Structure 1
């Protein structure tokens, strides 16, 4: 019976939503296009959670359904009276298809090229030997070491780039673990967890932080150092909780891992090209916008260098995890549809925040941000919610004793960065899922617990901040 339910719900529930009359929905002014987006969203959410089909197949189906149902080149039967108020805005088909080549996809591609070249020229093994040596040979401390390194890097560079780099370092460790050892999941999961959490520590660590700073002006202004003063302790506490949680859920059978890696860095001309490209790419990612290039542009450097020099061959290209690129593109397409159709804004604006207690507003806004960030990019979530929360924080006088606008914006910002329950929630999750060592339900269990714990912790941190500043 359970097997049949896996197929029943992802098919039947979206179909019911698709054919219901608009008057049934509790959102005033809902359009036909928004109704179709809601049906696609339910199909995606249920399919990603219940996995009746491979998760990358779900992503491809999302793009296909959007083209068929809500694009300007959809089936004539579904076009209706385009431009009418009831029908709503259709999406440009080129924008939907462009999700296959979104800048985030290019960032993934650069990470994959770095990982393949690092493995091919033993750079990953040698980096693992150098970076993990201080953490001993016990699995729990090696996991802690991977998390600390990942978190520190992700504070100053793209968490996707950090995850791609750290997963390549992880490869030689996984070889030493037995196939049935639960700690394989812990090792693979610890890196995206740390990368997602670590970005919260600095204003440049993750896009929602930068977006939040735009609304923290005047008396609410927070400097880089002030952000780190409360952001870093938050990261440390949540990292400790995440470490203990994955050790409890996925305990290691092996008492020790003998990472006895012999040999030295290769000294061939091609190896030096790999080393130099790797270092230059990481440095450019770390330096952020000081050189004028963003992380997506930088990601194309190793792709170009490795292809021109023959370091990555035609056979190597077959090793790229194309399923991950499709998975991520589907998530981007879903977020694009929720945003451009106006459905996400319709739902958010239909919630009467001003009618509630300030405590309910804070908790509700944080949970809404957390849920949205699991299905949309955290950047899109922050862009959508921040203007609303900034205005609400200015006008809702009952929030003043709790920190007003600053508190509301910060808890929503933190929650947006904590949406990491699904492989499509964040690029680091998708990369880690591609290793094959993590099941979706395992990622969801850890992601939901850490997300809720992080939201609760953010209230505590912001409360302490308000006490100190006042």
Structure 2
């Protein structure tokens, strides 16, 4: 799933003993705690000195602390969600009954969480029965020795996997399949860099294409729902061509930059055959995706279909009780926290109060859209993209009460990819060796600029065409 540092790859391999960190690395360890202290102190100071209303002041304090923890990633991503829910009920509940614990917990009862639960369940089922690895190996076989075709298939294969599952898992599967080839062609540094960057390219932009691809998509759908129903088909009709454009431009950049041409020899590797249970999982996946895409015909909502797929996988025995622990509950809690934060700042009037002193009408609409999308990309390049969306989407909805603005901001969050620290797939390919920060910057910066420009100039019109205005 998208380019988010919120997904964790679970493994049972023992960890190697920690090596002594260089002095510069030890110094960098203080950066995030220092930023967290500054962010928390600023939030509390603004709440204490800058606001008269106790409801708004306490909301600012709660939101500021939680956003700081999300953006700096100083604690596990589910912790700020727990603080948000408990802090809201404890500090605001005595002031107004609408902030009692039962009402606050109801903020998390959003159907989009069920949609993501279904996506995570399909991901675990694919991993358990080897479907993800089969896709990665099939990509290598289809290349038939062509370097450019291999790059293209790796990019598209990782992007396809990232549309339905964690982009970390998608990147890990492809890297595992590519590793024999990378080792066999270690002398060809240009091909190695191009292939590794192809993995990062597909993983970073694949999650844009579907509602279940990444955390910002979920927060955007929840914020857009009061204005228009965002179906699976509507989302993909807008986002899939944009994903295709980013992948195509990125592929051309890599081919030109690293002068990829000619052929390669694929090292011999054992091929894993899918058993009967794997074919049943594939059948559930195809049926689920088909029902998602045909929602306008049968009227079953995407979350309801996801719930049915989850019940089918566990009820049929394709997934067992212990597989519940492999679901990405941390990300579900993070998404629930982002949705709840939006409800808090909306109900308390925090965003409306903050924007009241600015004459936004003097700005052209395209400038306001461009500012929000670019800011989303820049913050996501440096911090958590889901935390960034939780910060900016409530502001976007206050500026433009419509279904389109949350979606545009979510797209902007997916463009923040130019640095090693921007996304987990970037860090993974850098960890393979041979890829420098300048390589990621050379690919990611033009794509970030292009994506922000395209979304700013065409996004509102295209979304209006699909009924998401």
What are the residue-to-residue correspondences of 1:218-237 with 2, within 5 Å? 235-237=243-245
When residues 242 and 356 of structure 1 are mapped into structure 2, their CA distance, relative to the original with a 3 A threshold, is same
Aligned equivalent of 1:8, options 30, 34, 47 = 34
Q: 2:205 aligns with which of 194, 199, 207?
A: 194
Tell me whether 1:278 sits opposite 2:278 in the alignment: no
Question: For the residues of structure 2 that align with 1:130 and 1:411, how far apart are their CA atoms?
Answer: 39
Question: Does 2:337 correspond to 1:337?
Answer: no
Change over 3 Å in CA distance of 1:129–1:371 after alignment to 2: closer
Aligned residues: 402
Q: Is the 8 A contact 2:200 2:425 kept in 1?
A: no
Deviation at 1:43, TM superposition (A): 1.8
1:70 counterpart = 2:88: yes
Residue of structure 1 equivalent to 2:177: 173
Match of 1:419 in 2: 413
> What does 1:69-468 align with in structure 2 at a 5 Å threshold?
69-71=87-89, 74=90, 78=91, 82-83=95-96, 91-94=99-102, 96-97=104-105, 103-130=111-138, 133-136=141-144, 141-148=149-156, 159-160=163-164, 170=174, 173=177, 176=180, 186=197, 189-198=200-209, 235-243=243-251, 258=266, 265-266=273-274, 268=276, 270-356=277-363, 360-361=367-368, 363-364=370-371, 366-367=373-374, 374-375=385-386, 385=396, 388-389=399-400, 414-420=408-414, 433=424, 437=428, 450-459=447-456
Report the Cα offset of residue 278 of structure 1: 2.5
Q: CA deviation at 1:16?
A: 3.7
- CA RMSD in angstroms comes to 5.5
* Shift in Å, 1:354: 1.7
**CA distance in 2 between partners of 1:372 and 1:241 (Å):** 23
1:419 partner SS: helix
Q: Which runs of 5+ in 2 are unaligned?
A: 1-26, 187-191, 212-216, 432-436, 463-469
Q: Closer, same or farther in 2 for the Cα pair 1:82/1:304, shift >3 Å?
A: same
Task: Kindly state the Cα deviation for residue 32 of structure 1 after the two structures are TM-superposed.
Answer: 1.4
Q: What secondary structure sits across from 2:428 in the alignment?
A: coil
| Cα separation, partners in 2 of 1:43 and 1:182, compared to 1, 3 Å | farther
Secondary structure in 1 matching 2:281: helix
| Contact in 2 for aligned 1:116/1:316 (Cα 8 Å) | yes
Separation in structure 2 between the aligned mates of residue 241 and residue 4 of structure 1, nearest angstrom: 37
Distance 1:243 1:272, change over 3 A: closer
8 Å CA contact 2:156, 2:202 repeated in 1: no
SS in 2 for 1:258: coil
Q: What secondary structure does 2:78 align onto?
A: helix
Structure 1 pair 30–382 and aligned structure 2 pair: CA distance change class (3 A): same
Structure 2 counterpart of 1:221: none
Q: How has the CA–CA distance of structure 1 residues 90 and 285 changed in structure 2, closer, same or farther, with 3 Å as cutoff?
A: same
User: 1:418–1:454: 8 Å Cα contact kept in structure 2?
Assistant: yes
CA distance in structure 1 between the partners assigned to 2:106 and 2:335 by the alignment: 12
Q: Distance in 2 between matches of 1:16 and 1:387?
A: 23
Question: Residue 366 of structure 1 contacts residue 411 of structure 1 at CA under 8 Å; is this kept in 2?
Answer: no
Check the 8 A contact 2:167/2:204 in 1, yes or no.
Answer: no
Shift of 1:235: 4.7
Distance in 2, matches of 1:168 and 1:301, equals 28
> Is the partner of 1:31 in helix, strand or coil?
helix
1:289-317 deviation digits (Å, cap 9, x = unpaired): 43222332222334322322322234444
Q: CA offsets, 1:419-462, max 9 Å, x none?
A: 12679xxxxx99x849983799x8x9787764443122345658
Residues 237-278 of structure 1: CA deviation (Å, up to 9, x unaligned):
4333444678899999xx95837666575453x344223222
- Gap regions ≥5 residues in structure 1: 84-88, 201-205, 217-223, 392-408, 424-428, 466-470
Counterpart for residue 402 of structure 1: none
- In structure 2, C-alpha distance between the alignment counterparts of 1:316 and 1:447, rounded to whole Å: 36
Specify whether residues 304 and 454 from structure 1 end up closer, same or farther in structure 2 by C-alpha distance, changes over 3 A only: same
Q: 1:37 to 1:339 in 2, by over 3 A?
A: farther
Q: Is the 8 A contact 1:190 1:246 kept in 2?
A: no
The higher-RCO structure (CA 8 Å, 6+ apart) is 2
